[in-house]
Amino acid sequence: MNNAARLLDEGDLQLIHALQIGPRLLWTALGEILGQHPTSLAARWRRLERSGSAWITAHPLGHPDQMALSFHDVRCQPGHRRHVAEAIGRIPEVFSVEECHRDRDFMLTVISPDPTQLTEIVYPQLEDIPHLSGYESTFCTRLHRTAANWELDALSPLQRRALRSAAGPPPAPEAHPGPPPPHFGPILRVLGRDGRASAAQVAEATGLHPATARRRLQRVLASGALSFRCDVSHRATGYPVMCQWFARLPAADHDAAAAELAGLGALRLCASTTGRSNFMFMTWHRSPTDIMALERRASEMLPRLEIRETVIISNIPKRAGWRLDTDGRRQEEFVEVGHHWD
């Protein structure tokens, strides 16, 4: 095993798990719960960030009532995967790029303010990419689970409860939340790079008066339009296998199915969609044998779930705006999102 694929130690995993629960908790609060000095935790986190093994980002939640969340299967001509992946990754609205080897070459997640932006801005950029031979789109109609909901299993139940209490409840979801708040874009662009950025750092990055930056940051945080997540290298945390399923399921069963699947493993995405399949989910695994085990358990728990296709993800060139290496470690290049939000 080379350095890039070396597994993280227990202390790293515990800190990452804590930050998955409370991405913006102060080091003092984290230190008290984890029984470590805040300065030591901050230094450990800086090392994890520098190595690209873990990082905290914020991104638009993708609630269908607030913005357009869509998924796209992309095909390219043989021998041109790398160049097509690089070109797709430069499109700001393309949130994530996943490489696979079946009926499509890439699976894209795209977030835009509305479907018009997708048609007028994203599609023309895709069509201008040399050697990209075609794409198909589906739209998210309900987002059940995201990577922000997934956690490592590195902390005790007592520590988890203490962290959730310290972090406080997330903003209450609204049935129809409406558009993101004013000044969403500038705050998003700062928090996309560093989900722990303070009001002072937002002020420095945007040129706002500190009091104005603090007020706008709090308004965006309270809106619930952003999802914060402590992201990780899949290989460094011991999950080298990534798999996505496309299925059909009666619409009335989707919410319950998502809850059941969340208990079966490292569920990273679960969404209701348009298209030939109307339900999709993606998980991380420690071994390829886990894939069949999950399918068997899912079929037992969800007898009306009809799995149409199983796709192995071989590489993730881009996730939540960040370029990744083949081990899923964050690289230096970040493609800013939020240009089409105020």
Q: What is the pLDDT of residues 215-238, one digit of tens each?
A: 999 998 888 888 899 999 999 999
For the chain, how many structural domains are there in total?
1
pLDDT band at 1 (very low <50, low <70, confident <90, very high): very low
Give the list of residues 6+ apart from residue 39 with CB closer than 8 angstroms, or none. 27
4 within a domain of the structure (yes/no): no
Determine, yes or no, domain membership for 29: no
CB under 8 Å to 241, separation ≥6 — which residues?
284, 285, 286, 287, 288, 290, 291, 312
Q: Is residue 142 part of a domain?
A: no
Cα–Cα distance between 109 and 138 in angstroms, integer? Answer: 10
| Domain assignment of residue 67, yes or no | no
Cα end-to-end distance, the chain, whole Å: 46
Least confident of 163-172, 243-252, 274-283: 163-172
| Residue at 32 is within a domain | no
21 lies in some domain? no
pTM: 0.91
φ/ψ of residue 177, rounded to 5: -65, -20
Q: What is the pLDDT of residues 83-125, one digit of tens each?
A: 999 999 999 999 999 999 888 999 999 988 888 889 999 999 9
Residue 196 falls within a domain, yes or no?
A: yes
Q: What is the pLDDT of residue 2?
A: 44
Percentage, residues of the chain above pLDDT 70: 93
Angle, helices 210-223/199-206, rounded to nearest 10 degrees: 110
Q: Could you list the residue range(s) of the whole structural domain that residue 185 is in?
A: 181-224
Q: How many helices (H) and strands (E) does the chain have?
A: 12, 12
pLDDT digits (tens, 9 = 90+) for 154-204: 999 999 999 999 998 876 555 455 667 777 888 989 999 999 999 999 999
Confidence of residue 3 (pLDDT cuts 50, 70, 90): very low
- Could you give the percent of the chain with pLDDT greater than 90? 78
Domain annotation covers residue 190? yes
Q: What does the pLDDT average to over 247-272?
A: 94
For residues 2-18, give the mean pLDDT.
Answer: 83
Which pLDDT score, from 0 to 100, does residue 222 have? 86
